[in-house]
Chain A
Amino acid sequence: MENNKESHVRDWKDMDYEVLMRIFMTLNMVDFVAASWVCSSWRKVCRDRVFWNRRALDLTKWSPQLTQSSPRMIRFLKYALYLSGGKIGSLIFSFRLPVRDGILINIARRSPNLRRLVLPGRHLQITEEGIIEAIQLWGGLESITLTDSDIACTFIEAIGNCCRNFFELKITCNFSLKIAQALVRHLPKLRRLSLQATRVNKDALVRAVTQLPALEDLNVSHCFIVGGNRPENIQVFSLQQVPDILAEVVRMPRLINCQVFCAKCELVMAWNMAIERWNPEEQIWREDEIPTLRI
C-alpha cells in the first residue's frame, strides 16, 4: 500500500523540468501551445527563459492549419510571444505572412532580446518608418536574413545606426548594387555574408569584397553572377571570370564557393534564365553552407 501511496506523490505534472523541456522542444507550435494550457507546472516550463533562448520561434515550421489564415497565425504569434516573456532570441518569419508596420512593431516590443531575424517574405507591407521604429527596439540584433527590395536598404541603414553587435547578413534573392552600396556605407564592420543560390550582380560582389574590410566569411555557392542591367546586355560569369574578386578573395579567411556546376547551381541558373518557371527560392533559401544561417 505504501508503494501505491508513493506513486501518487509524483506524476506527470511534477515531471522533471529538464525532461519536460526536452519533450516540449520537439513539439510543433500548435501542440506546444496546447501543452501550455494543461497545468501550471507545464506552463511554467513553456515560459522558461532557457527554453526560449534555445528555441527559435520559427513560423515556417508551423502547421498548414495555422499558416493558411494570417489572423490566426498572428494570434498564435502573440500568444507565443506572451509565453516567451520577451526572451525570444531568434525569430523566423514565413514567406506567407503579410507583415505590416503594426505587426512588426508589436513583435519588436515583445522581443527586445532578439539576436537573429529572418524576414524573407515577399508580402512585406512595411514602410521606412515602421522599419526604423522596429530596429530601434531591436538594438541587440546580430544577424538578419532579407530579400532584395527597397526595404532591404532601409533595414541595412537602420541596423547600422542602432545595432552595435551586428555582424551577419544573408540575402535570399538578388544581391544588387544598391544593397552592396548600402552595406559599404552603413555596415562596414560586417563579418559574415551569405548570397548562396541567389542572382548576384557582378559589380555588387566586387564592391562587397573590396570595400567591406571586416568580411571573414563569404558564401557564394550556387550563385548566378550577372553583369549589365538590360536583359539584352546581360552576361553570365563564373567566379573565376571576375579577376577583381579573385584577387581580393585571397585575404578572406573563408570563401565558400561551389567547385563544380552542381544540381543546385543548375536549378538556380534555369530559374534565372527563365527556362524553369518553378521558383525554387522558397525551398532553397533555407539552406546554407554556413551553419548559423541554415533554417
Chain B
Amino acid sequence: MSSSVEAITVLSSDGDEFKITVSAAKLSKPLNWMLEDVCFSDDCDEVPTIEVNSKTLVKVIEYCEKHAPRANSGASDSDAEELKKWDIEFMKMDVKDILFHILMAANYLHMEGLYDLACQTAADLMKGMTVSQIRKIFHIKNDFSSEEQEQLRRQHPGCSFD
C-alpha cells in the first residue's frame, strides 16, 4: 500500500467495520501505529481490530475527525471557540452506556484531549450533588453494609451527604 492512503478501515470489538482518515488517526498513538502497520504490511487485506465497541467507536472517530484539522495545522482563536462549543454538545451523552466507554477508550487509545474532556464531564456531573444523586446519575448500587455505613456516619457526623 502506498503512502498516499487517505483512510484506513478498522474493526470494532463487535466486528463492525469503520473508516477513519489518516489525519484523524494521528490523534491517537495506538491508532497511528496501526496505520503505519497497515501501510507497511504486504498483506493489505488485513483489517486491524480496536478493542472498543461500535457505539463508542463511532463517537471516538467523530471526535477525531472534528479535531484533526486543528491538531494537524493549528487554527485561529475563533475556531478554538467554535470547537469548545462543539465539545460541549459532543459530551452530552448517556453516562452509563457511552461516557463510561469513551473514558476507557480515550485512556486505551492515549487520546489526551478526549480523555481530559471526558474526565471533566464526569467531574462536572458530580458537582454539588448528594451521594444518592451521584449514584443515580452513574447507575451505581450502594454496596456498603449498613453497619459499616452507620459506624462511619457516627464517627464523622455531617460528612455523609445523604
Q: Which residues of A are at the interface with B, using a C-beta cutoff of 8 A?
A: 3, 7, 10-13, 15-16, 18-19, 22-24, 26-27, 30-31, 33-35, 37-40, 42, 72, 75-76, 78-79, 82
Q: Report whether A39 and B143 are in contact in the complex, using a CB–CB cutoff of 8 Å.
A: yes
Q: Report whether A79 and B96 are in contact in the complex, using a CB–CB cutoff of 8 Å.
A: no
Among B122, B129, B157, the residue within 8 A (CB) of A34 is B129
Q: Which residues of B are at the interface with A, using a C-beta cutoff of 8 A?
A: 14, 53, 95-97, 100, 103-104, 107, 115, 119-120, 122-123, 126-131, 134-135, 138-144, 149, 155-162
Q: How far is the CA of A75 from the CA of B159 in the complex (A)?
A: 7
Q: Report whether A75 and B157 are in contact in the complex, using a CB–CB cutoff of 8 Å.
A: yes
Q: Report whether A7 and B97 are in contact in the complex, using a CB–CB cutoff of 8 Å.
A: yes
Q: Report whether A39 and B100 are in contact in the complex, using a CB–CB cutoff of 8 Å.
A: no
Residues of A within 8 A of B97 (CB): 7
Closest beta carbon of chain A to B139's beta carbon, Å? 6
A37 touching B100 in the complex, CB below 8 Å, given contacts A22-B119, A23-B123, A76-B159: no
- Which label, helix, strand, loop or mixed, suits the secondary structure of the A interface? helix
Q: How far is the CA of A258 from the CA of B96 in the complex (A)?
A: 53
Residues of B within 8 A of A10 (CB): 100
A34 touching B119 in the complex, CB below 8 Å, given contacts A11-B100, A19-B103, A39-B142: no
A12 touching B107 in the complex, CB below 8 Å, given contacts A34-B130, A75-B158: no
Q: Report whether A34 and B141 are in contact in the complex, using a CB–CB cutoff of 8 Å.
A: no
Residues of B within 8 A of A15 (CB): 100, 103-104
Q: Report whether A31 and B126 are in contact in the complex, using a CB–CB cutoff of 8 Å.
A: yes
| Residue in B closest to A41 when the chains form the complex, CB atoms | B143
Residues of A within 8 A of B127 (CB): 27, 31
Q: How far is the CA of A158 from the CA of B38 in the complex (A)?
A: 66
Q: Report whether B122 and A11 are in contact in the complex, using a CB–CB cutoff of 8 Å.
A: no
Closest beta carbon of chain A to B107's beta carbon, Å? 6
Closest beta carbon of chain A to B157's beta carbon, Å? 7
A37 touching B161 in the complex, CB below 8 Å, given contacts A16-B104, A31-B129, A79-B156: yes
Q: How far is the CA of A16 from the CA of B157 in the complex (A)?
A: 30
Residues of B within 8 A of A37 (CB): 131, 149, 160-162
